[in-house]
Amino acid sequence: MSDKFSDLLDSLSRTKLEALENIHVIEQIEYFTKLCKPAKVTVLGEGEEDIRYVRDLALKSGEETTLKIRGQTVHFDGYYDLARDVGATKVLTTKNMRLSKRINTIDRDDGLKEILTLLDGAMGGKECLVKFYSLGPTNSRFSLCAMQITDSPYVAHSEDILYRQGYSQFKRLKGSKEFFTFIHSAGELNENRVTKNVHLRRIYIDVVDGKVYSVNNQYAGNSVGLKKLALRLAIHKANHEDWLAEHMLIMGAHPPGKNRVTYFTGAFPSACGKTSTAMIPGQSIVGDDIAYLRIDDEGYARAVNIEQGIFGIIQDVNPIDDPLIYKALTTPRELIFSNVLVADGIPYWLGMGRDDIPEKGVNFSGEWWKEKRDSEGKEIPFAHGNARYTMRLSELENVDPKYNDPEGVVVEGILYGGRDSDTNVPIAEALSWEHGVYLGAALESETTTATIGKTGVRRCDPMANIDFVVVPLGLYISNHFSFGRRLKHKPRVYAMNYFLKHEGRYTNSKLDKKVWILWAEGRIRGEYDAVKTPIGCLPLFNDLETLFREVLGREYSEKDYEIQFSVRLTKQLEKIERMENFFKDEEMPEEFWSIMKKQREELMSLKLETGEEVLPPSFFQAV
């Protein structure tokens, strides 16, 4: 440890750093602080005093402000820093690395030169925080160690809520260099304490060295290293080993009147119902975003949530559709709101179910008033469509008792859900594990405000992971096939769609997802028959009619059933053509193409046989 570096540390920080007995940790911190040139470096452990230090600094720095309800704060990102920046997020590649053409890449040497230049002096005059975390439960074979270096107390505070403290976990490394490193600087801030130079926003992932570099941004999807940025590093690691790192929720399904729990994982692109699925009333949540899956000694798939908190989209969270989340958001607890409207210390967001939204306040644009417009003349809404809340899972009434279990939970069902207005049924069970992998790979979603760019564009998003896959797409899909081959007890796989429309209206209510999940749970337990079709096994009307009455207390009509669960032959064939075009340049495994071919042949045969474009579920045979 050089004298110059040591001078940036107080005695407590030096003691904490030396106690790790890890030269790799010390060398990295010294290198990056020398590069970024902060005025001070604070190394933090995992005690409450250290956690409180970060919270207090977030307020002192102006990156967060307190609200009226005890424990709540608000953070604002800049007007042009409100979502994941896919274009500025790139994987550093060497000449011998081959990735999908859909993955943004930059030559590793060129990328490092650019990002290190941008980071040079980026922390000038600011305090650099060094934090240690465990991606997953501590003392678990699932978990990975991660070190965050940042000049944003908001980022560190968010990670203290979202992730398990890992200082002790780093001690268990016994000097090993097997950990991820995340370097972040918000860069120069303007008078509103938000990033000024967003045109120089860069997020570069170095899978060769297990590092992520992020500069000139504050939005958590770009800056909180342990979230989607760490997912990319984990995907690379998992796909060169024997496990899966997935963009998945984990939840426990609890059928009423039955003393059992069945665990599901589920992949949904942003704003497609993932968090609300994990929070279905009467069920339990293990995690809402990222899961690591491994095979145990008995041949079961097990999953852990790498996080201990939620960074959830707040739009449309209201007391009717999401009562558990709404209650948590409106009662005292440690919680960070971002990019909502604040008036008199009270947060307001889109779709919260209130008619008394103030006509002025503070939001992501600064001082806000009704009909305020930006520099391009576009009216600024009172809250952003990608506004978020950050809170601990332990604060929720429905947290599953196994959410922190180092052995994870046994996965018996996997859900793949997209945002699709005209093709897929609300739920269909895959015909086999291989067919389930195909359904996951063929996941489509209409784009939302969670990513920068146009909304409403149909986008193929394999396993809801296309933005994060840093290995060839064919390898990624192939590893899902092989993962299933190694399982003695394969989970059942389900394709889900909450966004089917008929005559311009959604065919589902937001509460219907509870019925779909409990039907899937009953199928796993052998309690329901199904209708076999080329796109999967569909529910029988009588079973859904009973579930709707017992679970939601309302009648379910045969007309609704026919509209929702008819097989749209033409639309399904059009989707297959889109999938063929999407994957044609990828080196996909043969299983993928054979499943696509079989499904196309069956759908075309039915269309020729019947002359119909849409077939009702009653056309098919129950099994």
The residue among 471, 458, 468 whose CA lies nearest residue 586 is 471
Q: Which pLDDT value is given to residue 451?
A: 53
**Residue 3 pLDDT more than 60?**
yes
pLDDT of 435 reads: 98
Residue 324 has pLDDT above 90, yes or no: no
Q: In angstroms, rounded to a whole number, what is the distance separating the alpha carbons of residues 226 and 296? A: 25
Other beta carbons within 10 Å of 125? 11
Q: What is the mean pLDDT of residues 360-379?
A: 95
Which residue carries 């007890």 as its tokens?
489
pLDDT digits (tens, 9 = 90+) for 289-309: 999 999 999 999 999 999 999
pLDDT of 455 strictly over 70: no
The single residue of 128, 145, 272, 460 carrying the catalytic annotation is 272
Whole-number percent of the chain with pLDDT over 70: 98
How far, CA to CA in Å, does 398 sit from each of 302, 323, 615?
21, 11, 40
Q: What integer pLDDT is reported at residue 513 of this predicted model?
A: 95
Average pLDDT of span 606-616: 96
Calculate the CA 118 to chain-centre distance.
28
Residue 315 pLDDT > 80? yes
Closest CA to 470 of 90, 143, 185: 90
pLDDT confidence of residue 101? 81
pTM of the model: 0.93
What pLDDT does residue 448 have? 55
| Overall size of the chain counted in residues | 623
Q: What is the mean pLDDT of residues 319-346?
A: 94
A 10 A CB-CB count for 563 gives 17
pLDDT (0 to 100) of residue 120: 98
Tens of pLDDT, residues 464-509: 999 899 999 999 999 999 999 999 999 999 999 999 999 999 999 9
Count CB-CB contacts under 10 A for residue 259.
6
**Nearest by Cα to 595 from 522, 534, 515:** 534
pLDDT at residue 452 is higher than 80: no
What pLDDT score does 322 carry? 82
- Provide the pairing of β-strand 65-66 with 291-295: unpaired
- Known catalytic residue at 145: no
Q: Report yes or no: 177 and 24 within 8 Å, Cβ to Cβ.
A: yes
pLDDT of residue 547: 98
| pLDDT averaged over every residue in the chain | 94
- Evaluated on CA atoms 285, 287, 293, 297, the torsion sign reads negative
- Joined together, the tokens standing for residue 228 give 């989607």
Residue 453 pLDDT: 54
**Rounded average pLDDT over 122-138:** 97
Judge whether residue 319 has pLDDT over 70.
Answer: yes
The whole-number pLDDT of residue 210 equals 97
Instruction: Give the CA angle between residues 343, 344, 349 to the nearest 5°.
Output: 35
User: What angle do helix axes 433-441 and 473-485 make, rounded to 10 degrees?
Assistant: 160
Averaged over 387-397, what is the pLDDT? Answer: 94
Residue 449 is predicted with a pLDDT of 52
| pLDDT 10s digits, 231-268 | 999 999 999 999 999 999 999 999 999 999 999 999 99
With b for 16 or more beta-carbon neighbours within 10 A and e for fewer, the 92-117 pattern comes to: bbeeeeebbeebbbbebeebbebbbe
pLDDT tens for 517-539 read: 999 999 999 999 999 999 999 99
User: What are the tokens at 126?
Assistant: 């600011």
Q: What angle do CA 563, 491, 272 make, to 5 degrees?
A: 45
| 303 dihedral zone (left: phi>0; alpha: psi -120 to 50; beta) | beta
CA dihedral 122, 384, 221, 438 (to 10 degrees): -150
The phi and psi torsions of 559 (rounded to 5 degrees) equal -65, -45
Domains in the chain (CATH in brackets) are 3-62+84-238 (3.40.449.10), 245-308+403-619 (3.90.228.20), 312-395 (2.170.8.10)
pLDDT of residue 27 exceeding 90, the answer is: yes
Res 556 pLDDT > 90: yes
How far is Cα 218 from Cα 410, in angstroms, rounded to an integer?
Answer: 36
Q: What number is the average pLDDT over the span 537-553? A: 97
82: pLDDT strictly greater than 60? yes
Quick check: 1 pLDDT over 90? no
In this model, does residue 99 exceed pLDDT 90? Answer: no
Question: What pLDDT band is residue 281 in, cutting at 50, 70 and 90?
Answer: confident
Looking at residue 82, its amino acid is: L
Neighbouring CB atoms inside 10 A of 74's CB total 21
Return the axis-axis angle of helices 23-36 and 108-119, rounded to nearest 10°: 60
